[in-house]
């Protein structure tokens, strides 16, 4: 429902034949670094090698692994490619044919999760946002708020990162810019009670969406997880079945480290989805594939820049299409 529409591409950029304009131009633009890396290196290989042999497969493997997609999936893909060549499913080392083959295989290997955000049957829908400092949490909240607002929904933010004064201020600035409501308290206030007040207010004023920010760092990891649990408990007491989504924000530029963080958070709280931020800043966008393979949690959104418009709901097919030329 219009999720992939909006924001037209700069027409001068469209004159470049290779940059296909269209529905997921933003995703393609964001994944440009990763795609360039894959396609330029593969093209080089294909121009030197005449056959799909062991050596070519090894080199394709290296290229795929260099995007951080994970060794297992990269190995599976090249094994399948080699077999397809033996079986004469693939006849040449024609780049287009091989890209197409790899794309189709990769799509079929990625599990089809439910990427849709879960909305409450009766508003408000509550989204709890977690993630370490600097991962892009506050910016991602602004993007979500903007997305929902554009859909005509009434949005409330809860400034639950009360650990740092700057965090509350930053969210407050976004709320003003996006013209959405916010509930905030002084630094050091109990974040669970901020969330409670936000829900109270949202119920009274008829908000459709409440997005709760949380701290990314406390005295210890145990403190942090305890606090998240408490916020969760208070929210679900106030509104049964809430929070409807617990989104963990990960910084895609941190590669394998993001995967480690996801595992740590997942042990403590029931993450329902991931928001993979900063996909535009990395040539290792394959990390989204690795996360899909290794975690039983879907990437629900990707962040593709620093403005509130730089967000895309995740979709395996579109993602894989944007990965190869």
Ligand X SMILES: Nc1nc2c(ncn2[C@@H]2O[C@H](COP(=O)(O)OP(=O)(O)O)[C@@H](O)[C@H]2O)c(=O)[nH]1
Least distance from C-beta 129 to Mg ion, angstroms? Answer: 9
- Among residues 137 and 207, whose Cβ is nearest to ligand X? 137
List beta partners, residue 249: 275
Query: Helices 221-238 and 256-268, interaxial angle, to 10°?
Result: 60
Task: Pick the piece of the chain touching ligand X (CB under 6 A) from 5-13, 130-138, 152-160, 220-228.
Answer: 130-138
Least distance from C-beta 118 to Mg ion, angstroms? Answer: 23
Where would I find the H helices in the chain?
A: 11-14, 25-30, 32-48, 54-65, 71-86, 95-109, 137-150, 165-178, 191-205, 221-238, 256-268, 287-294, 316-323
Backbone φ and ψ of 208, nearest 5°: -90, -35
Q: Is 136 in the site for ligand X (CB under 6 A)?
A: yes
What is the distance between the alpha carbons of residues 125 and 206, in angstroms, rounded to a whole number? Answer: 11
Q: Is 284 in the site for ligand X (CB under 6 A)?
A: no
Least distance from C-beta 249 to ligand X, angstroms? Answer: 6
Answer for which of 69, 175, 262, 277 binds ligand X (CB under 6 A) is: 277
- Among residues 35 and 278, whose Cβ is nearest to ligand X? 278
- Judged by CB under 6 A, the number of residues near ligand X is 18
Residue nearest to ligand X (CB): 303
Q: Is 300 in the site for ligand X (CB under 6 A)?
A: no
225 alpha carbon, distance to own chain's centre: 22
Answer for which of 274, 305, 321, 324 binds ligand X (CB under 6 A) is: 305
Q: Is 180 in the site for ligand X (CB under 6 A)?
A: no
Which of Mg ion, ligand X, none has residue 208 at its interface (CB below 5 to 8 Å by kind)? none
Largest CA distance in the chain: 69
Q: State whether residue 51 is helix, strand or coil.
A: coil
99 alpha carbon, distance to own chain's centre: 24
Which residue, chain included where needed, has tokens 């600097």?
Answer: 134
Which of ligand X, Mg ion, none has residue 139 at its interface (CB below 5 to 8 Å by kind)? ligand X
Are the beta carbons of 135 and 277 closer than 8 angstroms?
A: yes
Least distance from C-beta 274 to ligand X, angstroms? Answer: 13
Least distance from C-beta 72 to ligand X, angstroms? Answer: 27
Q: Is 285 in the site for ligand X (CB under 6 A)?
A: no
Least distance from C-beta 111 to Mg ion, angstroms? Answer: 30
Q: Is 280 in the site for ligand X (CB under 6 A)?
A: yes
- Among residues 120 and 129, whose Cβ is nearest to Mg ion? 129
Least distance from C-beta 213 to ligand X, angstroms? Answer: 7
167 alpha carbon, distance to own chain's centre: 21
**Listing from the earlier edge strand, what are the strands of the sheet with 245-251?**
181-183, 155-158, 209-212, 125-130, 245-251, 273-277, 299-303, 311-313
Question: Where do contacts with ligand X occur on this chain (CB under 6 A)?
Answer: 131, 133-139, 216, 277-278, 280-281, 303-306, 310
């Amino acid at each position: 429902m219009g999720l992939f529409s909006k924001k037209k591409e700069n027409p001068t950029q469209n004159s470049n034949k290779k940059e296909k304009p269209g529905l997921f131009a933003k995703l393609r633009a964001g994944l440009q670094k990763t795609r360039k890396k894959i396609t330029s290196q593969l093209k080089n290989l294909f121009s030197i090698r005449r056959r799909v042999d062991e050596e070519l497969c090894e080199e394709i493997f290296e290229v795929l692994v260099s995007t951080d997609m994970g060794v297992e999936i990269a190995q599976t893909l090249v094994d399948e490619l080699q077999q397809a060549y033996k079986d004469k499913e693939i006849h040449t080392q024609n780049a287009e044919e091989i890209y197409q083959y790899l794309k189709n295989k990769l799509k079929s290997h990625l599990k089809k999760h439910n990427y849709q955000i879960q909305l409450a049957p009766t508003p408000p829908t509550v989204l709890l946002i977690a993630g370490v400092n600097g991962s892009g949490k506050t910016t991602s909240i602004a993007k979500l708020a903007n997305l929902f607002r554009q859909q005509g929904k009434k949005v409330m933010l809860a400034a639950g990162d009360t650990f740092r004064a700057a965090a509350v201020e930053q969210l407050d600035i976004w709320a003003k810019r996006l013209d959405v409501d916010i509930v905030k308290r002084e630094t050091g206030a109990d974040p669970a009670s901020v969330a409670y007040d936000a829900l109270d207010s949202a119920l009274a004023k008829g908000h459709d969406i409440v997005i709760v920010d949380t701290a990314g760092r406390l005295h210890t990891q145990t403190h942090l997880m305890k606090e998240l649990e408490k916020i969760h408990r208070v929210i679900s007491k106030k509104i049964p079945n809430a929070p409807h989504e617990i989104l963990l924000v990960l910084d895609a530029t941190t590669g394998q480290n993001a995967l480690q963080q996801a595992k740590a958070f997942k042990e403590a709280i029931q993450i329902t989805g991931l928001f993979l931020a900063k996909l535009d800043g990395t040539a290792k966008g394959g990390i989204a594939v690795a996360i899909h393979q290794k975690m039983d949690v879907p990437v629900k959104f990707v962040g593709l820049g620093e403005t509130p418009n730089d967000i895309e709901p995740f979709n395996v097919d579109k993602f894989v299409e944007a990965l190869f030329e």
